[in-house]
Every structure is written in C-alpha cells, then in structure tokens.
Amino acid sequence: MTQDRASRRLPVVACIIAALMLAIAPMPDWASPFRPDWVALTLIYWAMMLPRTYSVGTAWIVGILLDVAQGSLLGQHAVALCFVAYIAVKFHLQFRVFPVSQMTATVFAILAFYQFILFWVNGVAGVNAPAVAYWGPVITGTLIWPLLTLFFGSVRYRARP
Amino acid sequence: MLTARTENQHRSQKTPALGLRLLLFAGLSILILVIDHRENYLDAVHRAIDVTIHPLRVIVDAPVAMWHWLGETSAGRNELRLENSRLKAERLLTHARLQRYSALEAENTRLRAMLEARTRVRDEVRVAGIMSVSANPFRHDLVIDKGLNDGVYDGQAMIDADGVVGQVIETGLFSAQAVLISDPDHALPVEINRNGLRTIAVGTGEFDRLDLPFLPNNADVRQGDLLVTSGLGGAFPAGYPVAIIDNVTRIPQEPFAAVSAKPAAKLNQVREIMLIWSIADEDVPETPE
C-alpha cells in the first residue's frame, strides 16, 4: 500500500525536482528574463489534479528550496507559491472542467498574481529589477501552459496504478 | 445518503483547513522573510538547505561541464594525433604547429594577463570556476564552485584578468553566490586613477555600463579615465581596475553630471574568476590550487 503510494508520488516529485532544475538552468542573457516560472506552473497543475496530496504545504517546502537555489530572500517564493497552490486547490473543481483556452487565461492571471507577490516582496526589501523580469515569465509561462498540461497529463496517465 | 453526508462533512472540514494552512504557511514565510532580511540568524538554516540543493546545481552544471571536459579531452587527442603525423609528413607538421601555436598563444596571453593582475596586487588570489547555473532573476549574479570549505567568506571581492567582477553575497559549503558590479543594487567605492578623485560607481542592470551619479558638473573627469577601487568600502582592496569612463555629459541646470563607465571585466563572458584574500587577514586556506 505504502509502496504503491510511493510509486504514485515518484513521477510528481520528479516533475517538481525537474522544475527546480529548470529554474536554475543556464540561459543566454537575452533569454533569462523570459524563463517561465516552471515551479509555479508545475505546482498549479499538480495541486489542481491531486489537491489532497499537493497543496499549500508542498508549495511552501518547494518555495523555500527555490529561494535557496536562486539566492532570493528566504521565504519570497515560498509565500508566493503558497498563494498559487491555495488558488489551485480552492478552485480545482472548476479548473478541471475549464477548456484549454479558459484555463490558459486563468494561468495567466495566477502567474501575474505570483509575480506581483514577488514584486511586492522585492519592493519592501528594496530590490530593484526591470519590469521585464516580472512580465517575461508570465507571458512565456502562459504560452507554454497548454504544452505543459499535455506532458503532465501523460505523466499522470502513466503514473496511474 | 450516508456517503453524500460524509462527503459533505469532509468538504466542510477541508475548506477551512485549507485557508488555515494558507494563513499558517504564508505567515511563516513572512516571518522568515522579515528575519532573513533584517538579521542573520537563519544563516545556518540557509546553509543546510543549500547543501541539499547542491546536487541539483551539480546536475544542472554537469552538461556544460561535460561539454568543456569533452572539449579538453578531444583537444588532447588531437594533439597526440598531430604529433604522430608530424613524424610522418612535414607539410602536416607545419599545419599542426600552426594549430598548436595559436592555441598556446591564446593560453599564454590569458596566463600573462592573470599573472599581471596577480603581481599588481599583493593579495592572495585563487582561481574559482563559475558554475553554469543561473540564479536570482532579479539580480545580476553568478554561482561559483568554491564555498566555505575553500575559505570563501561573505563580502569577498572577485576579479577576472581585466578588473573587478563583483563580490560574494551568500556562501554555501561547496558553492557561493556572488553579485556582479553591474547589479542595480550594487555600489562600489572607486577613484579616478588619474587624479585620485573619489566617487561611487553604481550598477545599472546592464552588463556594459556603470553609472557615476555623484560627480558634480565641475569635477575633473574625462572620457577614457580609468576607475580603480578606492578601498574605502572595506570590501574591495584598493587599486583594482573597475571601469573606463566612456561618457561624460555635463548638464548646467543639474547639480550632478551624467557620467557612465564601461566595466573593465567582461562581466557576461567570464568562465573563471579569481577570489581575493587580503594578506593581512592571515586566514588564507593552505589548499593549493
């Protein structure tokens, strides 16, 4: 039973770890402001699909890891991801029946909210960053969402016992 | 009926718990944020998590490191093959020599540049590699492959063969994060090499420009002046080249002139940097490079 649960969790944990790695993967200077929020996208999907297993707590732990990995203020991404996971879990029943276009628009809003929290914390802490550092990830993240759901969908299908 | 009710109960239990959990974790994050921003009690926690993250960094860095390693080994094989062919044909020999000479020449100029930088200052200097890991999206920074284990400390100055690169801001056990002088939040005390005029060079967020916002209109500053570290901030030892003034615009109605400078170091191209230990510190680790 526990082994079964572990084997079901493994693909999702692997997705999250891969997202963390993508978040610190090297990119050319011109492209780095447009790096999608891999971690946020991954958490939106899994919190929406498996809201009992992946929720605010998971988001917080992953957020702390992301903070350390990126060297941002400890807690910055954690608090932002908590809110993202909260929205995803709270409205997961609606989100699941959304058509792709509507879901993509929702993801845009969630990502914008996510970046707003990061912007807010940066503002309080006195970190200056150009506007493209906030809007770039929102746009690329939204564009990549439909492809990402296809990929995660296949992972979920395969992970099913 | 029964199942419907339990489901309902379950849901009614779940919803407030979710909000509560959000409150709990968000509150905790904000608490951590405040503590991390104002104090450094959390350094130990930071380091512990950093160690767990380190494997991810190594994995992310691995393909690039592998690529470099492959490049090195194939170059070695090439040299062997060329040496072999030198015994066989003279035409091939000259060809091979040309190839080897160009490689050696490049290496030699790099080493000379490094040596010059090293002899110019009397500080202990050690080479560190840059991990191909990008870090904070809101900062100009990089990750180096030396950490506490190698004696790296917070605030340590970093240079490359041409000039100042930045300083270490976060030290993990095996790696460290450093902020570049081009970061918008980085300010560096400098002086003009020609006349010793002291000012502050502020990062702009562009790799090829620093601003000098505090020079009055009548300041003796010209295009082409070399800026060196003044050593006043305490973080950087004095006398390292920082940037070359490339634009001076005097604005009569403003108190300060608009002066910008081009960093001497190639901030976005560095593959390895040198860490500086001031000799006076006496805590230079003994591990040879």
Q: Is A117 on the interface with B (CB under 8 A)?
A: no
Q: What is the pLDDT of residue B117?
A: 53
Please say whether the beta carbons of A73 and A64 come within 8 A: no
Q: What is the pLDDT of residue B245?
A: 92
Could you give the CA distance from residue A134 to residue A118 in angstroms, rounded to a whole number? 8
Question: Is the CB of A79 less than 8 angstroms away from the CB of B33?
Answer: yes
Closest-CA residue of chain A to B30: A75
Q: What is the pLDDT of residue B92?
A: 60
B124-131 vs B141-144, strand pairing mode? antiparallel
Q: Is A112 on the interface with B (CB under 8 A)?
A: no
Q: What is the pLDDT of residue A140?
A: 93
| Whether this model's pTM surpasses 0.90 | no
Q: How far is B188 from chain A (nearest CA, A)?
A: 17
Q: For residues A128-156, give the mean pLDDT.
A: 88
Q: What is the pLDDT of residue B231?
A: 80
pLDDT in tens, B104-156: 777 777 776 776 654 444 567 888 888 877 767 778 888 888 888 888 888 88
Closest-CA residue of chain B to A22: B60
User: What domains, with CATH codes, occur in chain B?
Assistant: 124-277 (2.40.10.340)
**A141: pLDDT strictly greater than 50:** yes
Q: What angle do CA A90, A13, A136 make, to 5 degrees?
A: 65
Q: What is the pLDDT of residue A89?
A: 92
**A20: pLDDT strictly greater than 60:** yes
**A112: pLDDT strictly greater than 50:** yes
ipTM summary value: 0.81
Q: Is B184 on the interface with A (CB under 8 A)?
A: yes
Pick from A105-119, B10-24, B174-188, B196-210: least confident? B10-24
Give the CA distances from residue A26 to residues A94, A102, A118, B117, in Å, rounded to whole numbers and listed in that order.
36, 32, 21, 29
More confident residue, B72 or B186: B186
- pLDDT confidence of B286, banded at 50, 70, 90? very low
Give whichever of A71-75, A113-117, B79-83, B251-255 has the largest mean pLDDT: A113-117
Question: Is the CB of B49 less than 8 angstroms away from the CB of A65?
Answer: yes
**B49: pLDDT strictly greater than 80:** yes
Closest-CA residue of chain A to B32: A75
Residue A97: in which H helix or E strand, if any?
A: helix A92-97
Q: For residues A5-14, give the mean pLDDT.
A: 81
**B50: pLDDT strictly greater than 80:** yes
* Full 3-state SS string of chain B: CHHHHHHHHHHHHHHHHHHHHHHHHHHHHHHHHHHHHHCCCCHHHHHHHHHHHHHHHHHHHHHHHHHHHHHHHHHHHHHHHHHHHHHHCHHHHHHHHHHHHHHHHHHHHHHHHHHHHHHHCCCEEEEEEEECCCCCCCCCEEEECCCHHHCCCCCCEEECCCCEEEEEEEECCCCEEEEECCCCCCEEEEEECCCCCEEEEEECCCCCCEEECCCECCCCCCCCCEEEECCCCCCCCCCCEEEEEEEEECCCCCCECEEEEEECCCCCCCCEEEEEECHHHCCCCCCCC
Q: Which pair of structure tokens corresponds to residue B193?
A: 């090499």
Question: Is the CB of A74 less than 8 angstroms away from the CB of B36?
Answer: yes
Could you give the CA distance from residue A109 to residue A113 in angstroms, rounded to a whole number? 6
Q: At what angle do helices A2-24 and B43-88 cross, to 10 degrees?
A: 70
More confident residue, B122 or B72: B72
